[in-house]
Amino acid sequence: MTAHNSKTSIQQQVFNLDFDLKAETFIAGLLETNVAVDINLTDYFKRRFSNDISKIAENSEENGILEIHLSRRSFYNIFPERLFHTQNSTTALVHQMVDDYKNRKLEEEQVRKFFKPLEVEFFLHRVAIEQAENQSIQSLGTNELSELLSEFWNIDTHIPKEMAAKILKTMPLMYKIAGNLSLLQSILETIIAERVVVTEEFASIEYHIEVHDWQLGVNLATAGCSVTFLPKYIFTITDIKRPETLKDYLPNGKIISFVEFYLEHTLPFEADFEINFTMERAKTDFVLSKTIYEGRLGISATI
């Protein structure tokens, strides 16, 4: 967002979002582009049915300054009213009630002006924290910091540095990603640049049979498959577009190592998972060739 954006365009960008934009994040972006802002904590009682940023307007007295109204609690809302307002008269006369109302609004305006510098200073400290967090996340792209944090989090060495850096950038948001299958699916698709399909079923108990001389009916009996009530998620990387990277999807491959590491840290502890992949149908067709020993059934190909 640049400084020459009009008031209308900024309002459209903010209020057309499908989520509640955090005020610190929005103002941190404006300050980075040298946009002058005037912060007002005036709409606290609208917070239950409005966004964090309740209004954006252009200052009528000073051009180029954006007035940003937030539905945040101010000092006027914290302290008791007796500290700021005089006692109203008990008369039932209409003109007296109107005068009392005007006096209370005037007192409220004066109190808000008195506390505004302190409120803005506290708020700008939170904006500074937001800017520091943004710089920390952006610095995760550097090789030195990525290597240091990769060792700290014990990230598998088979995972490429580019993917490791993307893992580190999502670490501060793990509390939102963990257990959220749709968000987890989107992140995996973004990082590996392939389509991922997630299916859910119940985990089964595997029986490990020792190698021995078995005789059916004597020391061996048929058995079924026991299914538990624990969840099992099957992640299928479908229609891989780059067949030259097929080795990366095999055990200990770069991509499979990344997916396993990420799922181990984001899925619930009691959940099991399985990773599969499929190739595009056009790349899996069997084509006969006239070249000797190439595509010959029984020699270099089987049904």
**Residues 115-124: tens digit of each pLDDT:** 888 988 999 9
**Does residue 51 register a pLDDT over 90?**
no
Residue 41's nearest CA partner among 77, 79, 85, 82 is: 77
Helices marked H in the chain: 7-15, 23-32, 75-78, 94-138, 143-152, 161-170, 174-177, 181-192, 254-266
Mean pLDDT of 256-278: 87
What average pLDDT does the chain have?
79
Tell me which residue has tokens 């891989």.
Answer: 240
**Does residue 291 register a pLDDT over 50?**
yes
User: Which long-range contacts (C-beta less than 8 Å, at least 24 apart) are formed by 261-267?
Assistant: 261/155, 261/156, 261/159, 261/167, 262/167, 262/184, 262/187, 262/188, 263/184, 263/233, 263/235, 265/174, 265/178, 266/174, 266/177, 266/178, 266/179, 266/184, 267/178, 267/179, 267/184, 267/233
Percentage of the chain lying above the pLDDT 70 cut: 80
Contact predicate 66/29, CB 8 Å: no
Q: Output phi, psi for 233, to 5 deg.
A: -110, 130
Mean pLDDT of 32-49: 83
Q: How far apart are CA 87 and CA 106, in angstroms?
A: 14
Q: What is the pLDDT of residue 12?
A: 79
Q: How far apart are CA 48 and CA 268, in angstroms?
A: 32
What is the band of 129 on the pLDDT scale with cuts at 50, 70, 90? very high
Mean pLDDT of 52-80: 82
What is the band of 1 on the pLDDT scale with cuts at 50, 70, 90? very low
Alpha-carbon dihedral of residues 262, 267, 270, 271, nearest 10 degrees?
Answer: -90
Q: What is the pLDDT of residue 74?
A: 86
> pTM here?
0.48
More reliable by pLDDT, 108 or 286: 108
Q: What is the pLDDT of residue 217?
A: 66
Q: What is the pLDDT of residue 121?
A: 92
**Does residue 208 register a pLDDT over 70?**
no
Q: What is the pLDDT of residue 169?
A: 82
More reliable by pLDDT, 59 or 35: 35
**Does residue 236 register a pLDDT over 60?**
yes
Q: What is the pLDDT of residue 242?
A: 79
What is the band of 290 on the pLDDT scale with cuts at 50, 70, 90? low
Query: Which residue(s) pair with 39 in the sheet?
Result: 68
**Does residue 85 register a pLDDT over 60?**
yes
Q: How far apart are CA 171 and CA 255, in angstroms?
A: 19
What is the band of 127 on the pLDDT scale with cuts at 50, 70, 90? very high
| 3-state class (DSSP) for residue 201 | strand
Q: What is the pLDDT of residue 298?
A: 65
Mean pLDDT of 31-48: 84
The verdict on domain 160-206+226-283 having CATH code 3.40.50 is no
Range with the poorest average pLDDT among 232-236, 258-262, 289-293: 289-293
CB burial readout 82-119, b (16+ within 10 A) else e: eebeeeeeeeeeeeeeeebeeeeeeeeeebbeebbeeb
Residues of the chain with CATH 3.30.300: 160-206+226-283
Q: What is the pLDDT of residue 2?
A: 46
